[in-house]
Amino acid sequence: MDSETVKAEVIRQVRTEYAMDNAKQLIEKINGHCFERCVPKPGSSLSSGEQTCFTQCMEKYMAGWNQVSATYISRLQREQ
Amino acid sequence: MRRQTTQHDTVTSPSRQINHPQLPAYLRVPDLKLRLLDHYPATAPEAPATTMDNFSLDNADLDKLNDKDKAELRQVLQNENQKARIQSTVHGLADVCFRKCVTGTIKNGKLDKTEEGCMANCAERFFDISTLTMKQLQNLRQS
């Protein structure tokens, strides 16, 4: 492998790791929040109401994530 | 409001293994702890771990890098690292702010106007608090 290939491979692996890590963090948070909100009393199976709530909660969490992200990053850029 | 303890609170540990042992010195990112006093807040309410356990390039490969590529790689890694730190902060923020702002029953997948405003305010005020912390710490150091 030449230098160029090694470099590209390192970059690819690093980006993959970070992306995986990011996804993992998001999943953990969504599971934590939405399980608590949507399944207050776990029954013998997940009801359709609980599933709907979970889907909506997940969408809401991601919308919230994006809102917080946009606000935080624009503030970072303003103050630097 | 007291934070509820949920399962995900214990999953993330503060250990960050960004500098994998196999990475040669020139590829290592600076110690994250040294950057706590940077201008912008690098610490989230909850800073999750970043692991690179699966990193599998051996040193023989890395030795093939020429100086130009080394320099470029160092830059790319620094940028990625910074991006990851900001993202970690946002994860922590989203966590705290969701708990504070989305308190009603969840009826649809969109944020309503109040929730949206609350999330934005929450991020702004967190930024204020982090800046304030830095200022207060600096005052302490100078006095």
| Residue A33 contacts B, CB cutoff 8 Å | yes
Rounded Cα distance between A22 and B87, Å, is 8
| Residue B93 contacts A, CB cutoff 8 Å | yes
pLDDT score at B45: 45
Rounded Cα distance between B143 and B139, Å, is 6
Would B2 be classed as within a structural domain? Answer: no
Residues 100-129 of B with CB under 8 A from A: 101-102, 106-111, 115-116, 119-120, 122-124, 126-127
Would B15 be classed as within a structural domain? Answer: yes
Chain centre to alpha carbon of residue A1: 35
Distances (CA, A) of A63 to A77, B3, B38, B97, B119: 21, 22, 29, 12, 10
- Residue B130 CB contacts under 8 Å (≥ 6 apart), including other chains: B40, B41, B43
- Chain A nearest-CA residue for B94: A65
Would B1 be classed as within a structural domain? Answer: no
Asked if this assembly's ipTM is beyond 0.85, the reply is: yes
pLDDT in tens, B35-66: 333 333 444 444 444 444 444 565 557 888 88
Number of domains in chain B: 1
The answer to whether the Cβ–Cβ distance between A67 and B106 falls below 8 Å is no
Would B112 be classed as within a structural domain? Answer: yes
Which site among A71, A77, A78 would you substitute to test the B interface, given the most B Cβ atoms closer than 10 Å to its Cβ? A71
| Residue A38 contacts B, CB cutoff 8 Å | yes
Rounded Cα distance between B57 and B50, Å, is 18
The answer to whether the Cβ–Cβ distance between A7 and B69 falls below 8 Å is yes
Per-residue pLDDT of chain A in tens (80 residues, 90 and over written 9): 788 888 888 899 999 999 999 999 999 999 999 999 999 999 999 999 999 999 999 999 999 999 999 999 999 988 87
Q: Which residue has the tokens 């990053």?
A: A73
* In chain A, where the domains are located: 3-79
pLDDT in tens, B71-123: 999 999 999 999 999 999 999 999 999 999 999 899 999 999 999 999 999 99
Residues 60-79 of A with CB under 8 A from B: 60-61, 63-65, 67-69, 71-73, 75-76, 79
CATH number of the domain to which B123 belongs = 1.10.287.810
Return the CATH class of domain A3-79.
mainly alpha
The whole domain housing B65 covers: 8-142
| Residue B3 contacts A, CB cutoff 8 Å | no
* Residue B88, Cβ density class (10 Å: 0-12 exposed, 13-18 middle, ≥19 buried): buried
